[in-house]
Structure 1
Amino acid sequence: MSTTESRPQAAGTTKAAGDQAVRETLEDYTLRFAPRSYRRWTPMVVATTALGGIAYMADFSIGAGIGLAHGTGNALVAIAVAAVVIFVTGFPLAYYGARYNIDLDLITRGSGFGYYGSVLTSVIFASFTFIFFALEGSIMAQGLRLGLGLPLWLGYLVSTLMVIPLVIYGMKALSKLQVWTTPIWLLLMIGPLVYLVATDPGTVDRFLSYAGTDGDGGIHAAPVLLGAGVCLSLIAQIGEQIDYLRFMPPKSEANRQSWWTAVIMAGPGWVVLGALKQAIGVFLAVYILAKVGPAAATEPIQQFRGAFDAMMPSWMVVPLAVALVVISQIKINVTNAYSGSLAWTNSFTRVTRHYPGRMVFVLVNLGFALALMEADMFSFLNSVLGFYSNCAIAWVVTVATDIGVNKYLLKLSPLRPEFRRGMLYAVNPVGVVAFVAASGLSIALYFRVLGHALQPYSPVAAAVIAFVLTPLMALVTQGRYYLRRTDDGISEPLLDETGNPSAVTLDCHVCHQPYERPDLTACATHDAVVCSLCLSTDRVGDHVLPATG
């Protein structure tokens, strides 16, 4: 199956721009439903590809930073608390992405935010991708400095530029990359840990008894919550998982078991491996602490150099440690660049009604990441992540609550997610108010506006406020602002008899391309249908259906 998709010509664009759009061949159904004709991968291939995207080394640094500061006990409890929250909130989002074949931005639009309201969260998610790209790029640069003697600034540049050839080709290239590199990555990551535990059981005792620089060996609420807040910055990772899960094949009786296994494993299940990596980061940091000092002990390249040094000849140590870091960085940063480009494209196209192509925003995202690396973001990692987590938690909890509570319990939010312009209100106060209030108050707590004692509770505040306000706003508004229209003007059903998005195709009369039924609405001024991207880029509203209906 070809990975190409023509970019539509919307009303108000020139003929030349339309011709250029038709020649565009780098699309992975940005801004729109992923059609059945494109989704040819098996559930387990999609899951393996999605899980390959969490091969990042940042978990080792995050775990190490929490453990060295607060002690092993507090770190492990913090990691577990964050993992439970991420799993519970990620499940409904992953299900909707896989079942309805849309990304998290499109889910967010119809789950409490509205067509333009979700621009807020698209920017939050885009920020997540370049923050973590910068973090992974910094880790790779540390490895290149150790292995090849490259100065950090050059390592930052190399780690940024090397992903461009891989990311421009989208899902087909990424699936091959992730499937083939995952076994090597797992062996290099797990092998040293198993060896250390088997040959020196005392390392486990030292790990479990480590009290931290500011701890007394006990488990206390404040350090646990501070640590959990840093871990919860990863809650937005579910967005990257859904960028792959939207390519799941239709759910059927024949693939029911593998479909659910893939959705759970590659959706919320990513956090199980993530939490394990954070715990390994604490273990390795404690193991090498006396040898390299607290600053270097949080660097994954130093952690694995120390682990490999215990199990193999010295001449193999640095090359293997560098290989692990480079493979990990490539696996995650192609995903960061890809997902970030989708998020920026979503935001820009809706606001300007102009679609410049995803490749433009691959470069924009890489530019932001490179600037952060050159600013030495790694040195103040936990502060950046602790602040960012408040916004990410507020967003994900709001959307998850809208799906779980407003859709299924209160039945005030439509069960089937809507994302098309004209079908949604510009802004839905349900999600926007809940998100702004939750993130705003939690950020105030984080910056000690309400006192030092409340700072550790900022992630709790973000989650609780979002969870309470989302159904409360739905009740106050009685769900009036979810759908601007209930009828899209096309008689053909959106879902087939099995509940999957319909595979029936119709031609968009603007760009003259065939699209599957869920991507289309009737045109306001012509007896024809128009695709979702042509609606997004319609500058005069010529095709957008009126509010009634």
Structure 2
Amino acid sequence: MSIENREASAAPAATADVGTAAKETLEDYTLRFAPRSYRKWSTGVVGVTALGGIAYLADFAIGANIGISYGTTNALWGIGVFAVVIFATGFPLAYYAARYNLDLDLITRGSCFGYYGSVVTNVIFATFTFIFFALEGSIMAQGLELGLGIPLWLGYALSTLIIFPLVVYGMSLLSKLQLWTTPLWLVLMVAPFVYLLVSHPDSVGSFFAYQGENGQGTPSLGAVMLAAGVCLSLIAQIAEQIDYLRFMPPKTPENSRRWWTSMILAGPGWVFFGAIKQIVGLFLAVYLIANVADGAAVANQPVHQFLEIYRDLLPPWLAMTLAVVLVVISQIKINVTNAYSGSLAWTNSFTRVTKHYPGRLVFLGVNLVIALVLMEANMFDFLNTILGFYANCGMSWVVVVAVDIAVNKYVLKLSPITPEFRRGMLYAVNPVGFGSMIVSAGVSILVFFGVFGAAIQPFSPLVAIGLAVVLPPLLAIATKGRYYLRRTDDGLDLPMFDEHGNPSGEVLHCHVCRQDFERPDVTKCETHDAVVCSLCLSTDKVGDHVLPA
């Protein structure tokens, strides 16, 4: 089935635009529920594919940077704060994605933001994807320059262009890519660290004693929170994990244990792997500073971290080859995820605002161009500032949605338990989530830039988290939950879920695009007394198919 045919048939009803010939499976169900008929992967394959997306080397750079700035003790406590916050907020989001087969934007819509209110969170997420695409692309360019003599500017371009063809086919290709490359990546990454522990046991003592570049690494709550703030810029990574978790198979009594294991490890569990990489990155940086001439100049660059250790183990030519291979594999594994998720986020926002669906590949190109511009601007020079600032926005969004699910749904019972994302069923903006995020992000950014004084400046992450925890329940109580659902009935007298609580696989026919879709992806079109799918609703320019309030 093709988007072109669907949009052409929808044009007479003024619902969509003709202009893309990409197959629906190539679009990987952008903007919509992932149907049971498409989710053919096992829980294990989905889990490994999702974890393949955390192969990035940015963690090594982040761990090195915060350790060099604040010392080992403060960095380790900061990483601990990061891990606790990420797991606690990521769990309810990952569960909802895997259980109801929705990406984080669709979850955000119904969880206290509203149909148009979640557009701003999509922009936040898209920003995350191109910031980290640029960071990983920069690391790859450093490897290509070191190993092959390729100028940085050309390396930036190559690390961008190589990703485009790999992302065209969505989950069907990405699952194979992540599965095939993970074993080699693990060996290349783990071997140097194990070698140092065995052959240089004294490096452990040096690591824990390291005080930072200014020798001021004594334990300090302010330094811990500054370190945590940089790490927490990764909080939006859960959205990328969810872009894979939405393809989990239905949860049944037979696969329940495997389902939960994959969901936890590949969902909030990614943070344990991320924290380990940050600690290893700091460990390698301290070793380079203490044992390698001019090591301090390159200690925060992952390609140099691994190259120096490989040189102790192997002939120079082989050490260089393996370092470059590790960097290239890692960059490809994470940047296919960054590019894929970013294209989904941009497409979601654009389609809702303009009622025009240009296809995911258009915004794949947009995301890559923005990332390339950041790389050419040498973002490594101001990495901590970029990540610290972004963390406030990312934390505000993710924590607000997590609190709405955990508290407003299950404790206060003011938010509907089952997620809703279809146009016409939701209000345009829900002040519970939208208002909470704007206040939380706005105030914490002011704190971050020192508007309220230097004493509170390091604690902007706590301000963001605190406001994002407190405000959603307060606003839900104040509004009595009235802005969650514009309608409670979608007009179809068919159950939404099967006997195990999974989204129903019942197939219905959309009268606009004349294609079949599963029950959760459609509503009744009251104007024509027929059924309409969610994408045709999204691209309905005159509201002809949208159910009345």
Shift in Å, 1:460 = 0.6
Quickly say closer, same or farther: Cα 1:247–1:519, change in 2 above 3 A. same
Conserved 8 A contact 1:8-1:533: no
Q: How much identity, in percent, do the aligned residues show?
A: 66
Shift in Å, 1:218 = 2.6
Shift in Å, 1:214 = 3.5
- Per the normalisation by structure 2, the TM-score is 0.97
Partner in structure 2 of residue 440 of structure 1 = 442
Quickly say closer, same or farther: Cα 1:338–1:311, change in 2 above 3 A. same
Q: SS state of the match for residue 342, structure 1?
A: helix
Shift in Å, 1:26 = 2.1
Shift in Å, 1:37 = 0.3
Conserved 8 A contact 2:409-2:416: yes
Quickly say closer, same or farther: Cα 1:145–1:403, change in 2 above 3 A. same
Partner in structure 1 of residue 79 of structure 2 = 79
Conserved 8 A contact 2:19-2:358: no
Partner in structure 1 of residue 250 of structure 2 = 250
Quickly say closer, same or farther: Cα 1:446–1:22, change in 2 above 3 A. closer
How many pairs does the alignment contain? Answer: 545
Once structures 1 and 2 are overlaid, which stretch shifts more, 66-75 or 307-316?
307-316
Partner in structure 2 of residue 325 of structure 1 = 327
Once structures 1 and 2 are overlaid, which stretch shifts more, 88-97 or 15-24?
15-24
Q: Distance in 1 between matches of 2:65 and 2:21?
A: 47
Partner in structure 1 of residue 386 of structure 2 = 384
Q: Distance in 2 between matches of 1:533 and 1:503?
A: 18
Partner in structure 2 of residue 113 of structure 1 = 113
Q: Distance in 2 between matches of 1:205 and 1:228?
A: 23
Conserved 8 A contact 1:508-1:531: yes
1:139-180 C-alpha deviation (Å, 9 max, x unpaired): 000000000001100000000000111001000100000001
1:260-290 C-alpha deviation (Å, 9 max, x unpaired): 0000000000000000000000000001114
Q: Distance in 1 between matches of 2:22 and 2:234?
A: 37
Partner in structure 2 of residue 33 of structure 1 = 33
Map 1:8-407; keep pairs closer than 5 Å: 8-9=6-7, 10=10, 17-18=17-18, 20=20, 26-290=26-290, 291=292, 292-407=294-409
Quickly say closer, same or farther: Cα 1:359–1:100, change in 2 above 3 A. same
Aligned partner letter, 1:472: L
Shift in Å, 1:463 = 0.4
Shift in Å, 1:63 = 0.2
Q: SS state of the match for residue 490, structure 1?
A: coil
Conserved 8 A contact 1:109-1:117: yes
Conserved 8 A contact 2:14-2:542: no
Conserved 8 A contact 1:107-1:418: yes
Partner in structure 1 of residue 536 of structure 2 = 534
Q: SS state of the match for residue 8, structure 1?
A: helix
> For structure 2, which runs of at least 5 residues remain unmatched after alignment?
none
Once structures 1 and 2 are overlaid, which stretch shifts more, 229-238 or 302-311?
302-311
Aligned partner letter, 1:37: S
1:295-349 C-alpha deviation (Å, 9 max, x unpaired): 3110000100111112222221111001000000000000000000000000000
Quickly say closer, same or farther: Cα 1:7–1:306, change in 2 above 3 A. farther
Quickly say closer, same or farther: Cα 1:153–1:177, change in 2 above 3 A. same
Shift in Å, 1:431 = 0.1
Q: Distance in 1 between matches of 2:33 and 2:207?
A: 47
Conserved 8 A contact 2:4-2:18: no
Quickly say closer, same or farther: Cα 1:15–1:522, change in 2 above 3 A. closer
Once structures 1 and 2 are overlaid, which stretch shifts more, 46-55 or 288-297?
288-297
Q: Distance in 2 between matches of 1:166 and 1:433?
A: 38
Q: SS state of the match for residue 517, structure 2?
A: strand
Shift in Å, 1:524 = 2.4
Shift in Å, 1:455 = 1.1
Q: Distance in 1 between matches of 2:242 and 2:24?
A: 24
Quickly say closer, same or farther: Cα 1:149–1:531, change in 2 above 3 A. same
Once structures 1 and 2 are overlaid, which stretch shifts more, 157-166 or 305-314?
305-314
Partner in structure 1 of residue 493 of structure 2 = 491
Once structures 1 and 2 are overlaid, which stretch shifts more, 499-508 or 311-320?
311-320
1:15-45 C-alpha deviation (Å, 9 max, x unpaired): 9944845766621000000000000000010
Quickly say closer, same or farther: Cα 1:19–1:223, change in 2 above 3 A. closer
Conserved 8 A contact 1:12-1:538: no
Partner in structure 1 of residue 467 of structure 2 = 465
Conserved 8 A contact 1:112-1:430: yes
CA-based RMSD of the aligned residues comes to: 1.5
Aligned partner letter, 2:308: G
Once structures 1 and 2 are overlaid, which stretch shifts more, 208-217 or 224-233?
208-217
1:353-375 C-alpha deviation (Å, 9 max, x unpaired): 00000000000000100000000
Q: SS state of the match for residue 26, structure 2?
A: coil
Q: 2:523 aligns with which of 518, 521, 524?
A: 521
Quickly say closer, same or farther: Cα 1:5–1:34, change in 2 above 3 A. farther
Shift in Å, 1:227 = 0.2
Conserved 8 A contact 1:7-1:22: no
Conserved 8 A contact 1:11-1:542: no
Quickly say closer, same or farther: Cα 1:8–1:449, change in 2 above 3 A. farther
Q: Distance in 1 between matches of 2:311 and 2:75?
A: 26
Aligned partner letter, 2:326: L
Shift in Å, 1:12 = 6.0
Aligned partner letter, 2:349: S
Q: Distance in 1 between matches of 2:539 and 2:410?
A: 33
Partner in structure 2 of residue 453 of structure 1 = 455
Shift in Å, 1:11 = 5.0
